[in-house]
Structure 1
Amino acid sequence: MAGANSSGAHWSDQEIDLIVADYFAMLSMELAGQRFVKSHRNEALRRLVDRSHASIEFKHCNISAVLERLGLPTIQGYRPRANFQHALIEGVERYLGAAERPESLIEFDAGPSVRFADLPIMDAPPPHEDPNVSPPAALRRLLHRFDPAARDARNRKLGLEGEERAFHAERSRLALMGRDDLARKVRWVAREDGDGAGYDIHSYAPDGSERLLEVKTTLGHARTPFFLSSNELAFSQERPNEFRLLRIHDFARSPKAFELRSPLAAHVRLRPSVYQASF
C-alpha cells in the first residue's frame, strides 16, 4: 500500500514523471473549467507511487514553483514551494520536451465573455529578485530551453486575443466615463494598419489626451518576462507622455493588467536578446 515511504526520501524519475503528468492533467482540466477532486487524484496517484498524501501534496506545490518560473499557470490551491530538487526540474523538462510545441500543452478558450469583459488595472509588481543571483544550472537550462518570453511571442493567437481584450476594455472604460465620443475613436492599430507602429491600441484619456498602448499578454503571472522590440522601445522614448506598455497576465483564468510608463528601464531590467548581422 502506498504511503509507507517517507516524504523526505528522494523521488525516482518514474515517480516524478507520474506526478508531473498528473499535475498537467489537473491544470488542463482546471483551465477548461472541468471539475475534479484533488483528494481523489491524490488517492489514485498513491496507488502508483509509494508516497504519503502529504508528500504528494507537497510535490504538487514544488511543481507549481517550477511552472511559476516558466511563466505558466499553476493549479489553484497548490501554492508554489520553491525548495524543489533538481530531479523535479528534469522531470518537467522531460514532460515539456515530449511535445512538439510545449506551449500547446496549456489550452484555453477565451471566448467572447472573456475577451470583451473589463480589464482590471492593478499596480505593477515591484522588482524583488537580485539580478546578481543566478538560478541553479538545471533551472537555467530549463528556462533557456522553454523561454517564457519566447513562448508567448510565438503564440500569435494569445497576442491577438490580448490586444482585442485591451481594445474593448479601453472603449468600455471611456464609455463609462461619459466619453462615448472618444470611445468610438479608439483604434486597434496593429489590426487595422499592421505591426510596426510601435504600439497596438490608439486610445484616449477622459480629457482627450492620447494613450498609445503596446500590449503584452501572458498566461503566466505578473512577473513573467516578455520581449520588447527595438522599435517599441524607441517609440516609448519618442512619445514618453503618450506611450503605455499594457502588461496583461493570467489571461487564461482571470485576466488583469498593469501599465508601465516611459522610461521603461525605470520599471524593468532591459537586456539585448537578439542581434541583426549585416555585411
Structure 2
Amino acid sequence: MSTGPWTDEENDLIVVDYFTMLADDVAGRPYSKSDHNRRMLEKIDRSRKSVEFKHQNISAVLKGLGEDWIPGYKPAFHFQASLVDAVARWLARNPHWLARKPNMSTKSALREPSSIWIGPPPTHSNQPPPQELEQTLHIARKFDVAARDERNRVLGRAGEERVLEHEHAALIGAGRADLARKIRWVANEDGDGLGYDVASFTPNGRSRLIEVKTTNGWERTPFEITRNELAVAEQRRSEWCLFRLWNFSREPKAFELYPPLDAHVSLTATTFQASFG
C-alpha cells in the first residue's frame, strides 16, 4: 500500500469523485460516502484513512477558492500544492460548475419574503489559526477569487435580488410597508456606476444605500470594490453600507460593513488605469 505523496493521477481521480458527491450534496440528492470511498479504494492503492483525509484536504482547497465543500468533510489544511492544481484542472474542464445558477429552490411566489441572518463581520479575534488562514488566502490570491466572483453576473444579480427581498422583509416587519414599496434596485434600473446596488431605508426613514458583494464561499473570501464605490462610501458615510453575502448557494448569511472601510478590511490596489498625457 502506497504511503508516499499522492500522484497527479491519484489526485485527479479523487477530485472527480469528490465533485460527484458535492454535486449530489448541493442538489439535495442522497449519496453514500462509504460507497464512494469503497470504489475509490478499488482504484488507488491507499488506506481508507488516507482517502478520508484527502477528501478533507479537498474541502480546504475549495474553501480557499471561495467555493462550496461537503459539510461532512471538515476542511483539513497542510495539503500538497499538487492537490490545488488538481482541483483547478477539474474546474477548468468543468466551467459550468462556477457558472451555475445559485440554488434558489427554496424560493416560492407563495412564500413570504424572508430576512437573511446577519452576524458580526470577521475580526482578528475570530480568525482561524495563522497557518490555516494564510494557506486559504494564498489560494484565493493565486486564483483571484475576488475578481471571479465580481465577474459572475449570475451570482451578483442573484445576491442583489436576495438583498432586495431581505430589505422588504425587514421594513414590513418593522411596520413600514410604505417604505418597503419605495425600495429600488438601482443597479438593475439605472445600471452600475452609482456606487451602490440597492436604495433602501431604515425603519425611521433614513436613506440606506447598499452595495452588495456575494460569494458562495466562507465569510473571509476576498471581494473586489471599485474606486467609485469607495468614493461614494466616503461621500455618503451616514447612508452607505456594504452588505456581504456569503455561503450563498447553501444558506445565505451576511454581515455589514460601514465607512470607513479601511477600518474593517485591508484595501489592496490590484489594477491601474493607463492613459496618455
Aligned to 2:169: 172
Residues 57-109 of structure 1 show CA distances to partners (whole Å, capped at 9, x for unaligned) of: 111111111111111111111111111112212222322333456623x6643
Cα RMSD over matched residues? 2.5
Aligned to 1:75: 70
User: Does 2:69 match 1:55?
Assistant: no
2:31 to 30, 33, 36: 36
Q: What is the deviation of 1:243? A: 0.7
Question: For residues 246 and 63 of structure 1, do their structure 2 counterparts lie closer, same or farther at Cα, with a shift above 3 Å needed?
Answer: same
Output the amino acid matched with 1:126: T
User: Does 2:254 match 1:260?
Assistant: no
Is the 8 Å Cα contact of residues 215 and 247 (structure 1) preserved in structure 2?
A: yes
Instruction: Give the TM-score of the pair, scaled to structure 1.
Output: 0.89
Is the 8 Å Cα contact of residues 118 and 256 (structure 2) preserved in structure 1?
A: yes
Aligned to 1:24: 19
Unaligned residue ranges in structure 2 (runs of 5+): none
**CA distance in structure 1 between the partners assigned to 2:68 and 2:34 by the alignment:** 21
- How many residues align? The count is 270
1:201 to 190, 198, 201: 198
User: Does 2:210 match 1:213?
Assistant: yes
Q: Secondary structure of the residue that 1:47 maps to in structure 2?
A: helix
Question: For residues 31 and 211 of structure 1, do their structure 2 counterparts lie closer, same or farther at Cα, with a shift above 3 Å needed?
Answer: same
**CA distance in structure 2 between the partners assigned to 1:119 and 1:130 by the alignment:** 28
1:109 to 103, 110, 113: 103
**CA distance in structure 2 between the partners assigned to 1:170 and 1:262 by the alignment:** 20
Q: What is the deviation of 1:135? A: 5.5
Question: For residues 37 and 11 of structure 1, do their structure 2 counterparts lie closer, same or farther at Cα, with a shift above 3 Å needed?
Answer: same
Is the 8 Å Cα contact of residues 140 and 146 (structure 2) preserved in structure 1?
A: no
Q: What is the deviation of 1:26? A: 1.3
Q: What is the deviation of 1:192? A: 1.4
**CA distance in structure 2 between the partners assigned to 1:114 and 1:78 by the alignment:** 31
Question: For residues 276 and 228 of structure 1, do their structure 2 counterparts lie closer, same or farther at Cα, with a shift above 3 Å needed?
Answer: same
Residues 170-224 of structure 1 show CA distances to partners (whole Å, capped at 9, x for unaligned) of: 0111101111111111111111111111101111111111111000001111111
Is the 8 Å Cα contact of residues 244 and 260 (structure 1) preserved in structure 2?
A: yes
Output the amino acid matched with 1:41: H
Instruction: Give the TM-score of the pair, scaled to structure 2.
Output: 0.89
Q: Secondary structure of the residue that 1:268 maps to in structure 2?
A: coil
User: Does 2:150 match 1:156?
Assistant: no
Is the 8 Å Cα contact of residues 28 and 107 (structure 1) preserved in structure 2?
A: no
Is the 8 Å Cα contact of residues 101 and 155 (structure 2) preserved in structure 1?
A: no
User: Does 2:92 match 1:97?
Assistant: yes
1:228 to 208, 214, 225: 225
Q: What is the deviation of 1:151? A: 1.0
User: Does 2:52 match 1:86?
Assistant: no
Is the 8 Å Cα contact of residues 31 and 108 (structure 1) preserved in structure 2?
A: no
Is the 8 Å Cα contact of residues 31 and 107 (structure 1) preserved in structure 2?
A: no
Question: For residues 190 and 108 of structure 1, do their structure 2 counterparts lie closer, same or farther at Cα, with a shift above 3 Å needed?
Answer: closer
Q: Secondary structure of the residue that 2:28 maps to in structure 1?
A: coil
User: Does 2:244 match 1:250?
Assistant: no
Unaligned residue ranges in structure 1 (runs of 5+): none
Q: What is the deviation of 1:144? A: 5.0
Percent identity, aligned pairs only, is 46
